[in-house]
Structure 1
Amino acid sequence: MSGKVYLVGAGPGDPGLLTLKGARCLASCDAVVYDFLANPELLDLAPEGAERIYVGKKGGAHTMGQAEINRLLCALAAAGKTVCRLKGGDPFVFGRGGEEASALAQAGLAFEVVPGVTSAIAAPAYAGIPVSDRRAATEVAFVTGHEDPHKPSSTINWEALARIGTVVFLMGVKNLPHICAKLVEHGRDPATPAAAVRWGTTPAQQTLSGTLATLPGLVAAAGLKAPAITIVGPVVALREELAWYERLPLFGRRVLVTRAREQASRLSQGLAELGAQVIEVPTIAIAPPEDPKPLSTAIALLEDFHWLIFTSPNGVEAFFRALREAGRDVRALCAAKLAAIGPATAAALTARGLAADVTAATFQAEGLLDALQEQGLTGQRILLPRAAEAREVLPETLASWGNLVQVVPAYRSLPPAGSAAKLARALDEGLDAVTFTASSTVHNLMALLPLKRRPELIAANQAGRPIVAAIGPITADTAREYGLKVQVQPAQFTLPALIAALAGHFAAS
């Protein structure tokens, strides 16, 4: 039985602009065939076992010609596979999607088109330029800028374009002098506002504004290259008032996120919403304890404990996974009180229908001890499921109050595979900030670095790029032990506070 090809528009670059249907196609495919302009983050939406095939072209260098791509899609579909053909922008807007659809149709193979957000609209929008505005333009034209200026005659109707309110040229930065000259030649005022936007909708976005007469020179002086689009018309003048994206507090800042992959999304999303270019290099992989017996034994005897104390969302997740594996559920906790080291850990309990009896105001053992001391805690049996390696201040202090404390490893924090190469690449390309959300992220990041590169990172950090942002004092102290300077530390030890503090730092600098 033949498969099916979904021609999916990947959007203009911001992964958040992928359509819901496009995401569903990715999530259920057997193979992804993707272009240079498709954001690599989107590949994470595909099943782990899906085949990933790159067929992009960059600067004229083709990984695979269009005829070969057509044959590849047909072969995959004929083999019974569900294929997500991921194309930058919209597949039918100068994306050669029509040619691929024709090849599939002629081969009698099933296909479906999933439109995407085209850069012709999105890149101007992120640059603060509405392609239509009743105050400035009531008609819009989208034009390919990828014509050879040396052709005997152009297939573009320059005379008509010179009279249209807004004209958007895609793939035209290389031919920009020719484009501007042609519009002026056919009657467009040389003083007409014009702008070029490179890598639109991404933190690498670069916008140059001028006029038909000046824009080619500005682009040449800045060395602005593809991928870029050009917008011509009075609407460009609205950018001065409407340029929202490039004014975000973290716009263009390259920020390293070192959390475990399972936990990175909240921090990464919060940073990206403020304009940051987030580079995720997980320094922690969460794994089961080497010996699961102490935890499973404790779970079998849960009724014997007066208190369960959780010190991280990871601990909550690991404990309840073991509870399920033991064939038990939350009813086994009916006799115990619950304590959480901070609001994130308390929220992990709330997600399971449980309310913490005690929650520390700060995300550190000392804060939880202050809160527990108010309970007059003594003579109690306490279960503490936590990471295999952790500070001893909490169990030791609880024991000194006359409690019987049983510490069981619920999970381990390990360096993940592949992160060393990602970290080296991120440092080579330059970083503005490195975020640490636990002491283990500091230890593991430094362990990922070759010894000869550690002094380079420390020296660069001391010089102010990258800065280090630590979620709390314990994490900050760990960073300082390695010789790092901590420039950002929020008053509250939470992810939202860390994000806000980082944004405040760059806004003030």
Structure 2
Amino acid sequence: MPKPLAGKTIFLTGTQKIQTIAEQVEEYGGKVLAFPLITIQERISWDDEERICNSAKYDWLIFTSQNAVEHYMNKLRRANLSPSAISCKIAAVGIKTAKALQDEGFDIDFMPTIFSADRFVQEFPGNAVDVHCLFLRGSLAKSTIRDALLCDEWTVYETVETTEHVGALAESLLQEKEPVVIFASPSAVRIYAKYIVPDLHWRYVTVASIGHITTAVLKEYGARVDVQPSVYTMQAVIERLIGGVSS
């Protein structure tokens, strides 16, 4: 019986762990290659311990990525504290973010129906009352949550664009018959558009996007987005590809 991903190569441009994805893609006849165009690093400051202690005083902590969870936990452990010391309510954007928090011992009190900042502020239960929130964010996060909820922010990690894998990515794309490139962030799109697109036009690849913000940036750079699932996860993209989505 033909496998739906036979002959297709899935290119990942972010920092996601790929083992589970690779196994699933291979099961359906394809293969996965990872060429990260961004890297993540913790932002460390002299007042981290003080800020960790102060974070316990908020009504809500808001996490929109696994990276925010990881680096918040790094700071918590360095302060010799555990999640049991944090009595705030917890808001998470995305299944993976929620799972990362639960794995650390947190309960999830709110998660929006669509994993985006726009939907978060519309559905957040505290948006009409006087609550004190802290948004744990990355350096490139938009101000949507801060502006809508008038909350405090703490940048716990940096997203750094990298060109280390650009040459290998371009070479591999040229060697594959049916390349599918998955973008999970606007940052990866910008690097790809700057270094890859001038020599290898968008039309030579199937473009998949995670999230409407990433899709909007892809379109700004002239890409046609072939796959964008309504659920903003890597798993949902793979499921759409397995289902034979091509446009």
Q: TM-score, normalised by structure 1?
A: 0.46
CA contact (8 A) 2:71 2:156 kept: yes
Show the 5 A alignment for 1:9-408: 244=1, 247-260=2-15, 263-289=17-43, 291-293=44-46, 295-334=48-87, 336-372=88-124, 374-399=125-150, 405-408=151-154
Amino acid corresponding to residue 172 of structure 2 in structure 1: A
Amino acid corresponding to residue 259 of structure 1 in structure 2: G
Counterpart for residue 242 of structure 2: 503
Which has the higher relative contact order, 1 or 2, with Cα contacts under 8 A spaced 6 or more apart?
Answer: 2
- Describe the shift of the 1:303–1:407 C-alpha distance in structure 2 as closer, same or farther (beyond 3 A): same
Question: Alignment partner of 1:275: what SS?
Answer: coil
Measure the CA separation in 2 of the matches of 1:288 and 1:351: 20
Task: Report how far residue 376 of structure 1 moved.
Answer: 4.7
Deviations 1:316-345 (A, max 9, x none): 1110011101111112212x1000012111
Counterpart for residue 466 of structure 1: 205
In the alignment, structure 1 segments of 5+ residues that lack a partner are 1-243, 400-404
CA contact (8 A) 2:161 2:187 kept: no
Question: Alignment partner of 2:80: what SS?
Answer: coil
Measure the CA separation in 1 of the matches of 2:153 and 2:86: 17
Question: Alignment partner of 2:33: what SS?
Answer: strand
In the alignment, structure 2 segments of 5+ residues that lack a partner are none
CA contact (8 A) 1:292 1:410 kept: no
Measure the CA separation in 2 of the matches of 1:441 and 1:494: 16
Task: Report how far residue 414 of structure 1 moved.
Answer: 1.7
Deviations 1:223-251 (A, max 9, x none): xxxxxxxxxxxxxxxxxxxxx5xx21101
1:434 and 2:181 aligned: yes
Measure the CA separation in 2 of the matches of 1:493 and 1:487: 15
CA contact (8 A) 2:58 2:132 kept: yes
CA contact (8 A) 1:341 1:367 kept: no
CA contact (8 A) 1:285 1:415 kept: yes
CA contact (8 A) 1:313 1:344 kept: yes
Moved more, 325-334 or 315-324: 325-334
Amino acid corresponding to residue 154 of structure 2 in structure 1: V
Measure the CA separation in 1 of the matches of 2:41 and 2:152: 21
| Alignment size in residue pairs | 246
| Aligned counterpart for 2:198 among listed residues 455, 467, 471 | 455
Task: Report how far residue 424 of structure 1 moved.
Answer: 2.2
Amino acid corresponding to residue 307 of structure 1 in structure 2: W
Question: Alignment partner of 1:323: what SS?
Answer: helix
Deviations 1:177-201 (A, max 9, x none): xxxxxxxxxxxxxxxxxxxxxxxxx
CA contact (8 A) 1:315 1:385 kept: yes
Task: Report how far residue 280 of structure 1 moved.
Answer: 0.8
Task: Report how far residue 504 of structure 1 moved.
Answer: 2.6
CA contact (8 A) 2:127 2:149 kept: no
Measure the CA separation in 2 of the matches of 1:271 and 1:418: 25
Task: Report how far residue 446 of structure 1 moved.
Answer: 3.2
CA contact (8 A) 1:312 1:341 kept: yes
Counterpart for residue 413 of structure 1: 159
- Describe the shift of the 1:469–1:295 C-alpha distance in structure 2 as closer, same or farther (beyond 3 A): farther
- Describe the shift of the 1:368–1:475 C-alpha distance in structure 2 as closer, same or farther (beyond 3 A): same
Question: Alignment partner of 2:173: what SS?
Answer: helix
CA contact (8 A) 1:284 1:441 kept: yes
Q: Decide which structure has the larger Cα Rg and report it.
A: 1
Amino acid corresponding to residue 496 of structure 1 in structure 2: Q
- Describe the shift of the 1:266–1:378 C-alpha distance in structure 2 as closer, same or farther (beyond 3 A): farther
Measure the CA separation in 2 of the matches of 1:266 and 1:440: 24
Deviations 1:15-40 (A, max 9, x none): xxxxxxxxxxxxxxxxxxxxxxxxxx
Counterpart for residue 402 of structure 1: none
Q: TM-score, normalised by structure 2?
A: 0.90
Counterpart for residue 493 of structure 1: 232
Measure the CA separation in 2 of the matches of 1:440 and 1:266: 24
Task: Report how far residue 416 of structure 1 moved.
Answer: 4.3
Amino acid corresponding to residue 256 of structure 1 in structure 2: F
- Note the aligned Cα RMSD (angstroms): 2.1
CA contact (8 A) 1:254 1:279 kept: yes
Task: Report how far residue 417 of structure 1 moved.
Answer: 6.4
CA contact (8 A) 1:308 1:339 kept: yes
Counterpart for residue 18 of structure 1: none
CA contact (8 A) 1:271 1:278 kept: yes
Measure the CA separation in 2 of the matches of 1:269 and 1:397: 40
Measure the CA separation in 1 of the matches of 2:13 and 2:19: 11
